[in-house]
Amino acid sequence: MKRLGSLLVLAAALTACNKEEAREIKRTDVPNFPIAAAVQVPAGSDLFFLSGTVPPVANKDAPAGSIESFGNTETQTVNVLTRIQETLKAQGLTMGDVVLMHVYLVGDPAKEGKMDFAGMMAGYTKFFGTPEQPNKPARSTVQIAGLVSPGMLVEIEVLAAKAKQ
C-alpha cells in the first residue's frame, strides 16, 4: 500500500509538471534571425490584440505630413515600438509577451520607392532578440501603397499573450 501511495504521489507530481509545461508559451526560433518561425500559445492564455500603431511626429519643425516630420524608417520603427511598449505596459505586459507581429512598410522615396527593410530591422532589433529581451514574435513584413498620413512609413500591429499560471 505504501508503494502505491508513493506511485500516486509521483504520478501527481508528473502531471503537475506536465500542466506547468503546457502553460508556457513556446517559441521556435529562426536561426540567426530575430523572429520566431512559430509560437505556441497554450489554451486559457490571455490574449491582447493591439490595433495598428503609427509613428508620432518626431520633428515638429519639419513640414506637416513629410517623411522628415516622422523620421526615417528606423526612427519610425523605434517610435512605433516604443508606443506599443507603453500600451503593453499599461496592460501589465512587456515586449516579451508579443507573440505575433504584422509590419506594414511604405516604399521610401529615398530608396527608389522600395521599403526600407534594413531600417525597420535596425529599429526592431532594439526590442526583440536582445540579451535583455530575448523573446521573438512570429512576424510578417509587407510593403503597402500608403498609410493614413503622408510621411508615415511604418505601421505595426501586434498580438500579445500571457499564459495563465
Average pLDDT, stretch 93-100? 98
Mean pLDDT of the chain: 89
Q: And the C-alpha cell for 90?
A: 499599461
Is residue 18 assigned to a domain?
no
Is residue 31 assigned to a domain?
yes
Q: What is the CATH number of the domain that holds 71?
A: 3.30.1330.40
The confidence band for 22, taking pLDDT boundaries of 50, 70 and 90, is low
Query: What residue type is assigned to position 110 of the chain?
Result: A
For residue 92, what are the contacts with CB-CB under 8 A and spacing of at least 6?
Answer: 162
Give buried/exposed letters for 68-95 (b at 16+ CB in 10 A, else e): ebbbbbbbbbbbbbbbbbebbeeeebeb
How high is the pLDDT of residue 9?
Answer: 37
Would you say 121 and 83 are in contact if contact means Cβ atoms under 8 Å apart?
Answer: no
Is residue 134 assigned to a domain?
yes
* pLDDT at residue 19 is higher than 60: no
What is residue 71's three-state secondary structure?
coil
Would you say 147 and 54 are in contact if contact means Cβ atoms under 8 Å apart?
Answer: yes
Q: Answer with the residue of higher pLDDT: 165 or 148.
A: 148
H/E stretch holding 120 reads helix 117-124
* Sole residue written with cell 526600407: 116
Is residue 150 assigned to a domain?
yes
Is residue 5 assigned to a domain?
no
- Could you give the number of structural domains in the chain? 1
* Sole residue written with cell 521573438: 136
Is residue 9 assigned to a domain?
no
Is residue 42 assigned to a domain?
yes
Q: How far from 64 is each of 52, 70, 152, CA to CA, in Å?
A: 21, 9, 11
Per residue in 51-61, pLDDT tens?
999 999 999 99
For residue 139, what are the contacts with CB-CB under 8 A and spacing of at least 6?
Answer: 35, 36, 100, 101, 102, 103
* pLDDT at residue 2 is higher than 60: no
Average pLDDT, stretch 108-136? 97
Is residue 137 assigned to a domain?
yes
* pLDDT at residue 20 is higher than 90: no
Residue 80, domain extent: 26-162
* pLDDT at residue 10 is higher than 70: no
The confidence band for 3, taking pLDDT boundaries of 50, 70 and 90, is very low
The confidence band for 165, taking pLDDT boundaries of 50, 70 and 90, is confident
